[in-house]
Each structure stands twice: as structure tokens, then as C-alpha cells.
Amino acid sequence: MKILLVAINAKYIHSNLAVYCLKTYAEKNMPQDVNVQIELAEYTINQNRDEILKDIYRRQAEMICFSCYIWNLDYVESMIRDVKKVMKDVIIWAGGPEVSYDSRETLGRLPELTGVMKGEGEKTFAKLCKVYGKRSETSELSLEQIDGITFRCPDGTICERPWRVPMDLSEVPFVYHDMKKFENKIIYYETSRGCPFSCSYCLSSIDKRLRFRSLDLVFNELQFFLDYKVPQVKFVDRTFNCKHDHAMAIWKYIQEHDNGITNFHFEVAADLLNDEEIRLIRQMRPGLIQLEIGVQSTNTDTIREIRRTMRLEEVREHVARIKEKGNIHQHLDLIAGLPYEDIKSFRKSFDDVYSMRPDQLQLGFLKVLKGSYMQEMQQEYELRYKEEPPYEVLSTKWLPYSDVIELKGIEEMVEIYYNSGQFTHVVEALVKNYASAYQMYQDLWQYYEEHDYMGIQHRRSARYEIVLDFVKEKYPEQADV
């Protein structure tokens, strides 16, 4: 049997680590009496749908498995319906976080689907290969015996099996061998699964079993990336530094074996960083690592309500100590739309984080993910969000839609005038006129609104002209400066 694993990514530079893990694990654990050929197909949501449908059809797989996320679910569901129309006998399965937590509803919504793989998929997919690729009809394994799936029975009823017990992460084979497949793409890599925290907006909090990959394996795999001089390796560990010994061992290894080219990206909790870790980070080559730090909010009521632990003063201190050395790119995140965060509170959160002068400040908006505690609390929070993925917040008990509109404007101004890195000196000079950085970006947004500049793809030179005109109108005595 020929099985096709389909990933539809958000951008060309992305790759889908999940489908590579499924294929590699299944092939490594395939019994001799199972006749299965597994292929991968990666596309992007920006590609022409007809071209993708044509390519899938030409591959003539007997079973197709789609990887589903918030950025591609609409696209994938449309593709599933079309594929079934032109390949009426094909078996179609779906998997991924966007279908795992409402698998029954997904099967009800998509009669073309045979089943859904729930949660961690390596062992589940390997079992499915054994069912569909068995050479002998006397094989005892059937769908009714596979954990981690919801499927459509022959009589049309929907059968749901228990969730699979999380696996040992060291059992997952290394997926990168032929690096030509990944030229000009970001390399994703994981050394842990699960998360020690229980943030109510995040699906990682559902997986309570925090697991780490063997460091011996990790070192060999890191060396592979270094030997191939991969431009960037992005760790997908949810909180990389949640285990001190694990984080230190990896950071020491990449420092000691630095090839002068490869950059490693980590998501960390800044308040968990200790003196030993910070000292090591400050010694690293500029560009060796970069840190993404999720602050999300500085409102203590909000932090408590979303079940998050964060000590703001320690975040501030640790970010400052790392920034002082000037060798590490730091990316700090905020989330708008969290409980107890009204516009006044968010302005303070923004100013608190802005004062840390990160290299990038990401102003994101709450996504109400299926299966999350945030979804359970939507009535109590009067949480309204978009019906379609990525289920972005529209309003809450504390934040009306009119304020969301304002925050969208602030987000765009920050992207243009701060995160682009093209207005560093202008912004530093301009913000001195304000007690609040948020107010400066609000004034810029209102200036854009008043002159109908929003929604236009301005040239870079035009952005400079606009901000100069803003200064001439707002602070004419400073135009020369």
C-alpha cells in the first residue's frame, strides 16, 4: 500500500517536523509482513489549490494523511473534500492539534474522512501502517485495537479509542539525513515534549508528562547540523530552560562546537534563567543563539488567572543582563485579549515590556485553541472570537472590539517602526517626548488613520516621509533633529 503524508505549511521556508517524524518512526518499526510505501508531500497555503490537488492525484496513493493546524485547517478541509471527489476509493486520515481535541466533530463535519489520529502520532501512525499494509488477512491487529484514534466504523457510527500514553522521546528517530531537501528552509528540532506549566491558552499544558531526549542523541544530532553548516536550527521545546542541567549541557555543547555560522533559536522563561546560565549566554558568539521570551502580560491578576508563573522583576533583570553584553537577539512577546486585561492594563504591560528594549516586541492576539482551558472559560470571560481558524479574539469582558481595533493599529506601528529595525534612531528620539511608549505608537497609528495610510503597502522611503511629516506636525521644533 502507498501512503502519502501531506503537510501544507504557512510559508515556503517552513518544514513540517511532525510528518517527517511519523514517516521515519514507522519505517524503522515496520515488520517484514507489512507492505507499505510511505511518501511525503509538502506544500504551502500560498500555492494554487488546483496545482496541489493535481500533484496529490498524480501520486496515486491508496491512503492519504493530512497534518492539521490552525493556519491550514480551512485549506486542508477543502482539499480533503476535493481529493475524495477525484479519488473516490482513497482512504483519508487527519492528525495534528487542530483535529485532536474535537475528533468526533471533525468526522461528523467531514464524511470523507476515515479517521483522526489524536495527539502524539508516531506510534499511532505505525499501527495504522500495520493495519492497512498487512500482507495476510489473518492479521489480528484492527482499528478497534489502536489507541489514539477516532474512526468511522463500517456501519457509519463513530468509534473513539483512548488517548495514547506519551512515548519516550528518545525512541523518535532523527529525521534529518538528506539536507538537500531542506535547503533555504528553517530546521525544526525538539529535545523535549510537554511543558511543566499550565498556561490556559496553550495546548502544551495538556501534555502533563514532560519528557527529554537523551543528551547523547542530542549531541550527535547537533553535530550533524553544525557539520552541515545549517543557517538556523529552531528548537520547538515549549520552555527550553525548564530543566537546568538539560539546557546547560546543550548550550555548552553548541558554544564549544560553534562553527561560526549556525544560529540556534530557543523559547525560554526569562525568570527561570539562573546566574550560571546567564554567564554562559553572555560569553557566546554574537548570533550563536537567539531567545524568544513569552511575557504575555505584566498584570498580576491576568498572570494568576491564566495559570502562569512569572516573576516580572526577575524577567526585567535577566533580560537587562543579557542585553548589556549585546551578543544575543531577544524577542519578547505580549498577548492581547487575556482575562482581566483591559486597554489600560495592556498599555502598562506594553510599556513595561518596551522599557526592556527587546530586539523585537511581538504584540500577538489571543487564539482560543480547541481543547484549551481558555475555550472552557469562554462564557465566563464573555470571550468572543472568530469562527474560523486561527480563532483570534474579537472581544472579552474587559476588552471591547473597539479596543481590539486600536491594538491592531498599535501592532502594525510596532512592526513598521520598531521591529523592522529601520527606524532605530528616529524612534529613540521620538519616544523621549512621551511618558508612555504606547502613547507614541497610538499617536502614530492615529496619524495613519487620519491620512488614510492604513492598509497600503508603502515603500520604505515613504515610511520615512510619513514619520517626518508626523514629526513636523506634532513636534515642528524637532524636525531638524
Give the pLDDT confidence score for residue 137 in this predicted structure: 59
Give the pLDDT confidence score for residue 344 in this predicted structure: 98
Cell of 232: 538556523
| DSSP secondary structure letters along 315-379 | HHHHHHHHHHHT-SEEEEEEEET-TT--HHHHHHHHHHHHTT--SEEEEEE-B--TTSHHHHTTT
Return the DSSP state at 418: I
Give the pLDDT confidence score for residue 207 in this predicted structure: 60
Evaluated on CA atoms 52, 55, 58, 63, the torsion sign reads negative
Give the pLDDT confidence score for residue 85 in this predicted structure: 98
Residues 6+ apart with CB under 8 A from 240: 191, 192, 247, 266, 267, 268
Task: For residues 254 and 243, give the distance between their C-alpha atoms in angstroms, rounded to a whole number.
Answer: 17
Q: Residue 227's CB: how many other CB atoms inside 10 A?
A: 12
Residues 6+ apart with CB under 8 A from 257: 222, 223, 226
Residue-wise pLDDT for 349-402, tens only, equals: 999 999 999 999 999 999 999 888 999 999 999 999 999 989 999 999 999 999
Q: Are 296 and 317 in contact (CB under 8 A)?
A: no
Q: CA torsion angle for 427, 473, 469, 456 (degrees, to 10)?
A: 90
Task: For residues 357 and 236, give the distance between their C-alpha atoms in angstroms, rounded to a whole number.
Answer: 25
Task: Give every residue of the chain whose pLDDT is below 50, as ranges.
Answer: 138
Task: For residues 390 and 70, give the distance between their C-alpha atoms in angstroms, rounded to a whole number.
Answer: 5
Burial code (b: 16+ CB inside 10 Å, e: under 16) for 34-54 equals bebebeebbbbeeeeeeebbe
Closest CA to 407 of 337, 359, 305, 470: 337
Give the pLDDT confidence score for residue 134 in this predicted structure: 83
Cell of 78: 477543502
The alpha carbon of residue 297 and the mean position of all alpha carbons in its chain are separated, in whole angstroms, by 19
Distances (CA, A) of 86 to 152, 304, 359: 21, 51, 49
Give the pLDDT confidence score for residue 404 in this predicted structure: 98
Residue-wise pLDDT for 173-189, tens only, equals: 999 998 988 998 999 99
Give the pLDDT confidence score for residue 309 in this predicted structure: 84
When computed from its CA atoms, the radius of gyration of the chain, rounded to whole angstroms, is: 24
Task: For residues 262 and 280, give the distance between their C-alpha atoms in angstroms, rounded to a whole number.
Answer: 18
Give the pLDDT confidence score for residue 201 in this predicted structure: 84
Distances (CA, A) of 342 to 221, 297, 336, 402: 45, 11, 9, 12
Cis-peptide into 166, omega within 30 deg: no
Q: Are 450 and 469 in contact (CB under 8 A)?
A: no
Give the pLDDT confidence score for residue 354 in this predicted structure: 98
Cell of 204: 502544551
